[in-house]
Amino acid sequence: MTTNRDPGWIDEDRGLLAAARRGDEHAFGRLIEHHRGGLELYCELMLGCPARAHQAVHETLLRGWRELDRVDPHAPARIWLYRLATGVCLEDPDRTD
Amino acid sequence: MTDSQARPPAGEQSALLKAAQSGDQQAFGQLVEPYRRALTIHSYRMLGSPHDAEDIVQETLLRAWRNLASYEPRAPLSSWLYRIATNASLDEIERRPRRPQPVEPYPDTPLADADAPTHDPAARYALREGLELGLLTAIQQLPGRQRAVLILRDVLGWTSPEVADLLETSVAAVNSTLQRARATIDERLPPAGPVPAAEDERELLHRYVQAFTNDDVDGLVALLREDAVLRMPPQPAVIGADAIARFFRWAAPGETFANFHHTPTRANGRPAVAIYTRSATGELIPHGVSVLVIEGGQIVGIEAFVDPALPARFAGAAR
């Protein structure tokens, strides 16, 4: 972990993920809020297009919500969300690779 | 629910609920009003757009009203409303997965402050000053996995073990993918020219604002590259420095630039202006935000977002 990763939000993420898995939508929303800016940026860099990045983040969110019950509650939520986003971006039909 | 609005005491709430369940719309309004703000915030988190959030709250309350008979008071009302809002948000997302969304500009400040995940000072490529267009283009040409590894490691500053975890592969595999990606990028990128200094950008932004203040059409044209493009979705793009200047002159109240009042700010990692129009009585009316795309000391693109709600969100984003 690099220095700017304050363990505070990692712990908070863990709590939010656990709560979201228990069906707490509010917690899921807060978890998403933590990462939305980063995910938008990541998808924009991956896709080279802000509009498609926005859609990709929505798709990521949707997948995340659907597979909440299958996610490892001890794994960092951030890596899980970026993994989903990577999958979404690599499947983007407007790209050839 | 963690919000702290005053809510009617339990007894009163159950009386309101009973009345609402037997069809009293006004009682329903009183019942749900205390939750409205929390629901808006929740919907905003789900959708990332304040505009959509308002719509979703309306939809949520409509669904709640229609299904009020099915609400069991054993569960807190807040949980029930959150569930409806979540479903309404997800329905909205699902409804429009492939329609290109006009992206709303976001102020730099909240994004920059939004936790660590976006950015790391150790990253190889600087992010905050805006990635150079050449780099962006080069990244786009990498194969998918190389692209992901390079962005995560060198732009977002993740560690190799983190990237390995994400891609479900080994650290060695990540490092070798990274080496290949870097080699390709280094090959394609022209030798590192001077990165557009923040100072130069500020100067250009200042001259842009001045050109409008002084109703200086030639001054504006001089700042724009000849083939600059003004994008203003959903309108068609305006192409060319002269055409853009003519367009602004035509669009300005009283057909003088000076009736566009600009406040310098930053948006989407770029220099930007919050736009106000001056009414006949001299009053400043919020109009929108323009993001400037700068290359080689000239403005090559203007992304204009016309929405009176925007200027307020950008107050204080200037750095």
Selected for mutation to probe chain B from A2, A24, A49, A91 (highest B CB count within 10 Å) is A2
| DSSP assignments along A48-61, one per residue | S-HHHHHHHHHHHH
- Collapse the DSSP code of B272 into the 3-class scheme (helix H, G, I; strand E, B; otherwise coil) and give the result: strand
- The residue behind tokens 């959030």 is B53
> From the list B117, B137, B139, which residue is nearest A78 (CB)?
B117
Q: Work out the minimum CA distance from A68 to partner chain B, whole angstroms.
A: 14
Question: Number of C-alpha atoms within 13 angstroms, CB side, residue B103?
Answer: 22
Q: What pTM was computed for the model?
A: 0.49
In terms of CA atoms, which chain B residue is nearest residue A47? B140
Record: contact B42-A26, CB cut-off 8 A? yes
Touching A: B residues 158-187, CB under 8 Å: 159, 162, 165-168
Residues from chain A contacting residue B111 (CB–CB below 8 Å): 37, 41
Question: What's residue A1's pLDDT?
Answer: 36
- The residue behind tokens 């009163």 is B12
Selected for mutation to probe chain B from A3, A11, A13, A46 (highest B CB count within 10 Å) is A46
Q: Which of A3-7, A33-37, B12-16, B130-134 is least confident?
A: A3-7
Per residue in B125-172, pLDDT (tens digit) is 544 334 555 677 778 788 888 989 998 888 777 889 989 998 989 999
| Residue B298 confidence (pLDDT) above 80 | yes
> From the list A25, A48, A75, which residue is nearest B140 (CB)?
A48
What one-character DSSP code corresponds to residue B152? I
| Residue A45 confidence (pLDDT) above 50 | yes
Beta strands B298-306 and B284-295, pairing class: antiparallel
> From the list B100, B115, B165, which residue is nearest A34 (CB)?
B115
Question: What's residue B134's pLDDT?
Answer: 63
Record: contact B151-A54, CB cut-off 8 A? no
- Collapse the DSSP code of B284 into the 3-class scheme (helix H, G, I; strand E, B; otherwise coil) and give the result: strand
> From the list A4, A9, A55, which residue is nearest B120 (CB)?
A4
Q: Which of B253, B255, B260, B247 has the alpha carbon at shortest distance from B286?
A: B260
> From the list B41, B121, B140, which residue is nearest A4 (CB)?
B121
Per residue in B199-232, pLDDT (tens digit) is 788 889 999 999 999 999 999 999 999 989 898 7
Q: Work out the minimum CA distance from A63 to partner chain B, whole angstroms.
A: 10
| DSSP assignments along B198-258, one per residue | HHHHHHHHHHHHHHHHTT-HHHHHHHEEEEEEEEETTEEEEESHHHHHHHHHHHSGGG-GG
Span B60-78, average pLDDT: 88
Record: contact A83-B168, CB cut-off 8 A? yes
State percent of chain B over pLDDT 70: 79
Q: Which of B16-25, B186-195, B281-290 is least confident?
A: B186-195
Question: What's residue B65's pLDDT?
Answer: 93
β-strand partners of B306: B288
Question: What's residue B178's pLDDT?
Answer: 94
Asked if residue B228 lies in contact with residue B246, where contact means CB atoms within 8 angstroms, the answer is no
> From the list A50, A82, A89, which residue is nearest B103 (CB)?
A50
Query: Which structure tokens are listed for B294?
Result: 């700068």
* A-B Cβ pairs (cutoff 8 Å, strict): 126
User: Touching check for B86 and chain A: CB below 8 Å?
Assistant: yes
Asked if residue B42 lies in contact with residue B57, where contact means CB atoms within 8 angstroms, the answer is no
Touching B: A residues 28-87, CB under 8 Å: 28-30, 32-38, 40-42, 45-46, 48, 50-55, 57-59, 61-62, 65, 75-76, 78-79, 82-83, 86
Beta strands B235-239 and B260-267, pairing class: unpaired
β-strand partners of B229: B239, B301
Per residue in A50-91, pLDDT (tens digit) is 778 888 898 899 899 889 988 988 888 999 999 999 999 998
Question: What's residue A2's pLDDT?
Answer: 37
